[in-house]
Structure 1
């Protein structure tokens, strides 16, 4: 074998080995999310944000305020995503009454078991429980007037696929309610400008934004706008300043 041929074969072998050692840039993501853009932001540790015991939250009037702002009434159907121990679930169940329904969803099986025990103990016949996925809330289609995501949006690791799969669950005129804290995601919060961008990229329009001390953060309300985009059409958001400009806000 001549020298030139040996060099050529060695080069081919090196290229082949390099190809074998290539790392899939999406290997750390769920397979069901890889057609969607990656979120260009950190994500807080799951369950790391403590918003205080239920009694303290009730003393501030948190749940009552949020339900009032969201127009929750008798007969409303609500999905409580990231329900956890059920602070909002049980209060929503009382507010919507026998003609309404509450679906409590979480990805934590242990939390759902504890919540199931609480639902049985308190005889909440209008509550059902559903196990979600990190990139899919797994909600039935055309079922909800309101979807609550309270102090949990910053934990969503795949916001574009999650929000994309959430859209069909809303009834006509349905809205998504987000309560979070204005601080970086890695500090268990979500800058409002970044939240607005991620929601808008999947076809949600902001209709109200309010900062309230009772909820230890802000309240944002969204509705659907236009058709659901194809996954390839979604443009990911870049990290943005926390200052909110160009929208109607209320602070008090």
Structure 2
């Protein structure tokens, strides 16, 4: 009897539910949103596609972040390091944590880092429930088209909150779910309303939505 009661409590406290959904989703839902499959390392060429700057205006995104030379920044789900190496050049006296869960992505960045001799990048192997960063160590967190793929968004944002300094900022970049003209699968997009709802549930408040990117939201959050 005791085991049954315990299991019931655990299920009741589980913020996630499970049901069939989009073929590109994992059948796990959080606050009405289906979590998407992680894009595997096999998609690394898509991350480095020549047209990415035109489609996403990544230079404008980095301008939005107002990166200072001594900033400590973490790129969560850094992938091939597309943003990492650009940020490292701007925060030349600071540090960029490049966090990814896939060893193949980390290896790709390691090869490039050695080739280019970049010393202010630290590669971090992330986990499904933790970014594995030191507590109160980061000024800015960047998440580009990755949050919607977190298998455990509640736990991941708790980990991010611990890593972020008191006045730190989270830059949540997601393809606009409100815009049908953005040529991305629905489960890989998010609306501003959904993002704000999820962030507020884990202790973050929207500071600004910088609306100057072609396809994506640039949502800036701070801890409450």
> If the TM-score is normalised by the length of the shorter chain, which range does it land in?
0.7 to 0.9
Q: Which has the higher contact order (CA 8 A, sep 6+)?
A: 1
Pairwise CA distance, 1:54: 4.5
Residues 1:61 and 1:202: Cα distance change in structure 2 (over 3 Å): closer
Deviation readout 1:118-151 (Å, 9 max, x if unpaired): 1111111000100011121111111111000011
Residues 1:52 and 1:120: Cα distance change in structure 2 (over 3 Å): closer
Aligned to 1:37: 15
How far apart, in 1, do the equivalents of 2:113 and 2:10 lie? 39
Pairwise CA distance, 1:110: 1.1
- Of residues 121-130 and 40-49 in structure 1, the stretch that sits farther from structure 2 once superposed is 40-49
Question: In 1, are the aligned partners of 2:47 and 2:82 still within 8 Å (CA)?
Answer: no
Question: In 1, are the aligned partners of 2:173 and 2:218 still within 8 Å (CA)?
Answer: yes
Alignment of 1:59-208 (within 5 A): 59=54, 62-97=57-92, 99-183=93-177, 187-208=187-208
Long gaps (5+) in structure 2: 17-29, 179-184
Alignment of 1:46-57 (within 5 A): 46-47=38-39, 53-57=48-52
Question: In 1, are the aligned partners of 2:47 and 2:80 still within 8 Å (CA)?
Answer: no
Question: In 2, are the aligned partners of 1:179 and 1:220 still within 8 Å (CA)?
Answer: yes
Residues 1:144 and 1:35: Cα distance change in structure 2 (over 3 Å): farther
How far apart, in 1, do the equivalents of 2:109 and 2:155 lie? 26
> Normalising by structure 2, what TM-score?
0.78
Aligned to 2:53: 58
- Of residues 39-48 and 125-134 in structure 1, the stretch that sits farther from structure 2 once superposed is 39-48
The number of residue pairs the alignment matches comes to 197
Pairwise CA distance, 1:210: 2.7
How far apart, in 1, do the equivalents of 2:145 and 2:89 lie? 21
Residues 1:88 and 1:26: Cα distance change in structure 2 (over 3 Å): farther
More strand by share: 2
How far apart, in 1, do the equivalents of 2:213 and 2:94 lie? 29
How far apart, in 2, do the equivalents of 1:133 and 1:186 lie? 25
SS at match of 1:93: helix
- Of residues 75-84 and 59-68 in structure 1, the stretch that sits farther from structure 2 once superposed is 59-68
Pairwise CA distance, 1:61: 7.1
Residues 1:26 and 1:191: Cα distance change in structure 2 (over 3 Å): farther
How far apart, in 2, do the equivalents of 1:61 and 1:92 lie? 16
SS at match of 1:196: helix
